[in-house]
Homo-oligomer: A and B are copies of this chain.
Amino acid sequence: MYSVTVSDHVMIAHSFRGTVFGPAQRLHGATYTVEATFRRERLDQDGIVCDIGRALDVLKEVLAPLAFANLDELPEFAGRNTTTEFLAGVLHERLKARVRDGALGAGTAGALASLQVVLRESPVAWAGFDGPL
């Protein structure tokens, strides 16, 4: 199985609800370094998994609504804890939708097997979501 990974980052504010979060219940923030790994059984005729420039663009595109945002105020996250792992799942879903819409090329959409999204929140903690495309 081949794979290509692209990375970008985003800076956000948010707070969590639930005693399990301790001091992170307060409004705080994070720099997330985000890695998206696209997997594919065979390379296309150009010898690639997908266009790496387009993959970087699509990643930036799905990160844009989070960039310099207070996630507590985004309607789509109302009533949810925007934990690192939750956001990994959300970004997986949004990247998947963009891929299906042809953002990486019409031929690529059907050829990709799966996608892993990893968000690094600090030198000692990161989270991810891995699933089919």
Contacts and interface: CB of A to CB of B under 8 A. Distances in A.
A76 interface: no
B51 A20 contact: yes
A63 interface: no
B24 A68 contact: yes
Total identical chains: 6
Contacts of A3: 85, 127-130
A81 B48 contact: yes
Given A16-B46, A48-B85, 5 more contacts: A1-B131, A8-B124, A13-B14, A26-B69, A47-B80
Q: Which 6 A-B pairs have the closest CB atoms?
A: A29-B29, A47-B81, A13-B13, A13-B29, A23-B68, A28-B68
